[in-house]
Amino acid sequence: KNEVEQSPQNLTAQEGEFITINCSYSVGISALHWLQQHPGGGIVSLFMLSSGKKKHGRLIATINIQEKHSSLHITASHPRDSAVYICAVPLSSGGGADGLTFGKGTHLIIQP
Amino acid sequence: KAGVTQTPRYLIKTRGQQVTLSCSPISGHRSVSWYQQTPGQGLQFLFEYFSETQRNKGNFPGRFSGRQFSNSRSEMNVSTLELGDSALYLCASRTGMNTEAFFGQGTRLTVV
Protein backbone atom coordinates (compact mmCIF):
# COMPACT_ATOMS: atom_id res chain seq x y z
CA LYS A 1 0.00 0.00 0.00
CA ASN A 2 1.27 3.44 -0.88
CA GLU A 3 2.16 5.81 1.93
CA VAL A 4 2.09 9.56 1.34
CA GLU A 5 3.99 12.16 3.33
CA GLN A 6 3.33 15.86 2.89
CA SER A 7 5.20 18.83 4.26
CA PRO A 8 4.78 21.27 5.78
CA GLN A 9 1.53 20.53 7.60
CA ASN A 10 0.89 24.24 8.20
CA LEU A 11 2.25 27.24 6.37
CA THR A 12 1.56 30.92 6.91
CA ALA A 13 3.06 33.39 4.44
CA GLN A 14 2.70 36.97 3.31
CA GLU A 15 0.94 37.93 0.11
CA GLY A 16 3.32 37.78 -2.82
CA GLU A 17 5.60 35.09 -1.40
CA PHE A 18 6.65 32.00 -3.36
CA ILE A 19 5.13 28.90 -1.78
CA THR A 20 6.38 25.31 -1.99
CA ILE A 21 4.56 22.24 -0.72
CA ASN A 22 6.24 18.85 -0.88
CA CYS A 23 4.89 15.32 -1.27
CA SER A 24 6.71 11.99 -1.06
CA TYR A 25 5.25 8.55 -1.66
CA SER A 26 6.51 5.04 -1.06
CA VAL A 27 5.47 2.95 -4.07
CA GLY A 28 5.94 3.62 -7.77
CA ILE A 29 2.88 5.23 -9.33
CA SER A 30 1.32 6.01 -12.69
CA ALA A 31 0.12 9.49 -11.74
CA LEU A 32 -0.05 11.87 -8.80
CA HIS A 33 -2.83 14.30 -7.98
CA TRP A 34 -2.71 17.70 -6.34
CA LEU A 35 -6.02 18.77 -4.82
CA GLN A 36 -7.28 21.94 -3.15
CA GLN A 37 -9.89 22.00 -0.41
CA HIS A 38 -11.53 25.19 0.85
CA PRO A 39 -13.49 25.49 4.11
CA GLY A 40 -16.87 23.93 3.52
CA GLY A 41 -15.38 20.75 2.13
CA GLY A 42 -15.40 20.85 -1.65
CA ILE A 43 -12.27 19.42 -3.26
CA VAL A 44 -10.97 20.73 -6.57
CA SER A 45 -8.46 18.89 -8.71
CA LEU A 46 -5.50 21.14 -9.51
CA PHE A 47 -3.19 18.78 -11.35
CA MET A 48 -2.75 15.18 -12.33
CA LEU A 49 0.79 14.46 -13.49
CA SER A 50 2.91 11.45 -14.25
CA SER A 51 6.18 13.12 -15.27
CA GLY A 52 7.92 16.46 -15.53
CA LYS A 53 6.09 19.65 -14.83
CA LYS A 54 2.69 21.24 -15.34
CA LYS A 55 1.68 24.89 -15.00
CA HIS A 56 -1.71 26.47 -14.59
CA GLY A 57 -1.75 30.18 -13.94
CA ARG A 58 0.31 30.82 -10.82
CA LEU A 59 0.43 27.16 -9.88
CA ILE A 60 3.24 24.83 -10.92
CA ALA A 61 3.49 21.13 -10.13
CA THR A 62 6.59 19.00 -10.63
CA ILE A 63 7.24 15.34 -10.15
CA ASN A 64 10.38 13.20 -9.97
CA ILE A 65 9.29 9.60 -10.53
CA GLN A 66 12.71 8.13 -9.65
CA GLU A 67 12.83 9.93 -6.32
CA LYS A 68 9.08 9.42 -5.66
CA HIS A 69 8.66 13.11 -4.92
CA SER A 70 6.45 15.92 -6.12
CA SER A 71 6.21 19.63 -5.35
CA LEU A 72 3.45 22.17 -5.72
CA HIS A 73 4.55 25.78 -6.12
CA ILE A 74 2.45 28.92 -5.93
CA THR A 75 3.99 32.07 -7.36
CA ALA A 76 2.90 35.56 -6.26
CA SER A 77 0.66 34.08 -3.56
CA HIS A 78 -2.65 35.77 -2.77
CA PRO A 79 -5.03 35.52 0.19
CA ARG A 80 -7.50 33.65 -2.03
CA ASP A 81 -4.90 30.84 -2.27
CA SER A 82 -5.56 30.11 1.41
CA ALA A 83 -6.82 26.53 1.51
CA VAL A 84 -5.73 23.00 2.30
CA TYR A 85 -3.59 21.43 -0.41
CA ILE A 86 -3.62 17.65 -0.61
CA CYS A 87 -1.40 15.25 -2.51
CA ALA A 88 -2.94 11.93 -3.60
CA VAL A 89 -1.60 8.83 -5.33
CA PRO A 90 -3.10 5.47 -6.36
CA LEU A 91 -3.54 3.01 -3.50
CA SER A 92 -1.06 0.59 -5.03
CA SER A 93 1.09 0.21 -8.08
CA GLY A 94 -0.83 -2.84 -9.26
CA GLY A 95 -3.50 -2.73 -11.89
CA GLY A 96 -7.21 -2.82 -11.15
CA ALA A 97 -7.35 -0.81 -7.96
CA ASP A 98 -8.39 2.73 -8.67
CA GLY A 99 -8.82 4.29 -5.25
CA LEU A 100 -6.57 7.07 -4.02
CA THR A 101 -4.59 7.46 -0.84
CA PHE A 102 -3.91 10.93 0.47
CA GLY A 103 -1.39 12.97 2.35
CA LYS A 104 -2.61 14.70 5.49
CA GLY A 105 -2.71 18.02 3.67
CA THR A 106 -0.95 21.35 3.99
CA HIS A 107 -3.01 24.11 5.58
CA LEU A 108 -1.91 27.28 3.81
CA ILE A 109 -2.76 30.78 5.02
CA ILE A 110 -1.72 33.80 2.96
CA GLN A 111 -1.90 37.02 4.90
CA PRO A 112 -2.50 40.34 3.12
CA LYS B 1 -21.23 20.25 -18.10
CA ALA B 2 -22.67 19.38 -14.71
CA GLY B 3 -20.23 18.41 -11.98
CA VAL B 4 -20.42 15.60 -9.47
CA THR B 5 -23.58 15.87 -7.39
CA GLN B 6 -23.88 14.46 -3.91
CA THR B 7 -27.10 14.35 -1.94
CA PRO B 8 -27.98 15.18 0.69
CA ARG B 9 -25.42 17.84 1.65
CA TYR B 10 -26.08 17.54 5.37
CA LEU B 11 -27.55 14.77 7.44
CA ILE B 12 -28.12 14.19 11.15
CA LYS B 13 -28.79 10.65 12.29
CA THR B 14 -29.08 8.82 15.58
CA ARG B 15 -26.80 6.01 16.68
CA GLY B 16 -28.06 2.66 15.45
CA GLN B 17 -29.85 4.08 12.43
CA GLN B 18 -28.79 3.52 8.85
CA VAL B 19 -28.10 6.06 6.15
CA THR B 20 -27.88 6.11 2.36
CA LEU B 21 -25.84 8.70 0.49
CA SER B 22 -26.05 9.33 -3.23
CA CYS B 23 -23.51 10.38 -5.83
CA SER B 24 -24.24 11.30 -9.44
CA PRO B 25 -21.03 11.37 -11.47
CA ILE B 26 -20.19 13.56 -14.41
CA SER B 27 -21.91 12.31 -17.54
CA GLY B 28 -19.75 9.70 -19.25
CA HIS B 29 -17.71 8.90 -16.14
CA ARG B 30 -17.94 5.21 -15.27
CA SER B 31 -15.70 5.19 -12.20
CA VAL B 32 -17.03 6.36 -8.86
CA SER B 33 -15.04 6.18 -5.65
CA TRP B 34 -16.04 7.08 -2.11
CA TYR B 35 -13.95 8.60 0.67
CA GLN B 36 -14.43 9.42 4.32
CA GLN B 37 -12.81 12.55 5.75
CA THR B 38 -12.42 13.11 9.48
CA PRO B 39 -10.22 15.57 11.37
CA GLY B 40 -8.27 12.74 12.96
CA GLN B 41 -7.77 10.34 10.04
CA GLY B 42 -7.92 12.69 7.08
CA LEU B 43 -9.18 11.32 3.78
CA GLN B 44 -9.59 7.55 3.63
CA PHE B 45 -10.66 5.36 0.74
CA LEU B 46 -13.94 3.49 1.18
CA PHE B 47 -14.61 1.76 -2.15
CA GLU B 48 -14.45 2.19 -5.90
CA TYR B 49 -16.95 1.13 -8.56
CA PHE B 50 -16.54 0.83 -12.28
CA SER B 51 -19.39 -0.21 -14.56
CA GLU B 52 -21.48 -1.49 -11.63
CA THR B 53 -18.64 -3.63 -10.24
CA GLN B 54 -16.84 -2.95 -6.99
CA ARG B 55 -13.17 -3.06 -7.91
CA ASN B 56 -11.60 -2.20 -4.60
CA LYS B 57 -12.59 -1.72 -0.98
CA GLY B 58 -10.83 0.12 1.80
CA ASN B 59 -10.29 -1.02 5.35
CA PHE B 60 -13.74 -0.29 6.73
CA PRO B 61 -16.17 -2.60 8.54
CA GLY B 62 -18.91 -4.43 6.70
CA ARG B 63 -21.43 -1.82 7.92
CA PHE B 64 -20.19 0.28 5.03
CA SER B 65 -21.48 -0.85 1.66
CA GLY B 66 -22.17 0.59 -1.72
CA ARG B 67 -23.43 -0.05 -5.18
CA GLN B 68 -23.42 1.46 -8.63
CA PHE B 69 -26.31 1.54 -11.04
CA SER B 70 -26.31 1.14 -14.81
CA ASN B 71 -26.38 4.94 -15.24
CA SER B 72 -23.17 5.13 -13.12
CA ARG B 73 -24.93 6.78 -10.19
CA SER B 74 -23.68 5.34 -6.94
CA GLU B 75 -24.99 4.98 -3.44
CA MET B 76 -23.24 4.15 -0.22
CA ASN B 77 -24.97 2.80 2.83
CA VAL B 78 -23.87 2.77 6.44
CA SER B 79 -25.85 0.57 8.78
CA THR B 80 -25.96 0.61 12.58
CA LEU B 81 -24.45 4.08 12.76
CA GLU B 82 -21.83 4.85 15.39
CA LEU B 83 -20.72 8.23 16.71
CA GLY B 84 -17.38 7.69 14.98
CA ASP B 85 -19.08 7.58 11.60
CA SER B 86 -19.60 11.34 11.80
CA ALA B 87 -17.58 12.64 8.88
CA LEU B 88 -17.60 14.30 5.50
CA TYR B 89 -18.27 11.68 2.84
CA LEU B 90 -16.93 12.55 -0.59
CA CYS B 91 -17.33 10.85 -3.89
CA ALA B 92 -15.18 11.31 -6.95
CA SER B 93 -15.86 10.40 -10.54
CA ARG B 94 -13.38 9.61 -13.30
CA THR B 95 -13.56 8.33 -16.83
CA GLY B 96 -11.28 5.43 -15.87
CA MET B 97 -8.02 4.49 -14.22
CA ASN B 98 -5.25 7.06 -14.14
CA THR B 99 -7.50 9.92 -15.13
CA GLU B 100 -8.32 13.16 -13.35
CA ALA B 101 -10.66 12.81 -10.38
CA PHE B 102 -13.59 15.20 -9.98
CA PHE B 103 -15.02 15.47 -6.48
CA GLY B 104 -18.49 16.29 -5.27
CA GLN B 105 -19.16 18.80 -2.49
CA GLY B 106 -19.61 15.98 -0.02
CA THR B 107 -22.26 14.91 2.45
CA ARG B 108 -21.61 15.94 6.03
CA LEU B 109 -23.00 13.24 8.29
CA THR B 110 -23.44 13.86 11.99
CA VAL B 111 -24.34 10.93 14.22
CA VAL B 112 -25.80 11.87 17.60
Each residue's pLDDT tens digit, B47-104: 999 999 998 899 999 999 999 999 999 999 999 999 999 999 999 999 887 789 999 9
Per-residue pLDDT, A94: 57
Q: How many helices (H) and strands (E) does chain B have?
A: 0, 11
Per-residue pLDDT, A30: 82
Q: Hey, of A30, A43, A100, A101, which one would you mutate to test binding to chain B, going by the most B CBs within 10 A of its CB? A: A43
Residue B42's pLDDT band (boundaries 50, 70, 90)? Answer: very high
CA-based nearest distance A66→chain B, Å: 19
CB atoms within 10 A of CB A47: 22
Q: Is the pLDDT of residue A100 over 70?
A: yes
Q: Is the pLDDT of residue A95 over 70?
A: no
Per-residue pLDDT, A99: 85
Per-residue pLDDT, A2: 81
CA-based nearest distance B54→chain A, Å: 10
Per-residue pLDDT, A39: 84
Tell me whether residues B56 and A97 touch, CB distance under 8 A.
yes
Residue A93's pLDDT band (boundaries 50, 70, 90)? Answer: low
Pairing of the two strands B102-103 and B87-94: antiparallel
CA-based nearest distance B2→chain A, Å: 14
Chain B residue with CA closest to A96: the answer is B55
Q: Is the pLDDT of residue B32 over 70?
A: yes
Q: Can you say whether residue B95 is alpha, beta or left, with left for phi > 0 and alpha for psi between -120 and 50 degrees?
A: alpha
Q: Which residues of B touch A101 (CB under 8 A)?
A: 45
Q: Is the pLDDT of residue A96 over 60?
A: no
Q: Is the pLDDT of residue B34 over 80?
A: yes
Per-residue pLDDT, B97: 75
Average pLDDT score over chain A: 92
What does the DSSP 8-state code read for residue B97? T
Q: Is the pLDDT of residue A26 over 80?
A: yes
Q: Is the pLDDT of residue A73 over 70?
A: yes
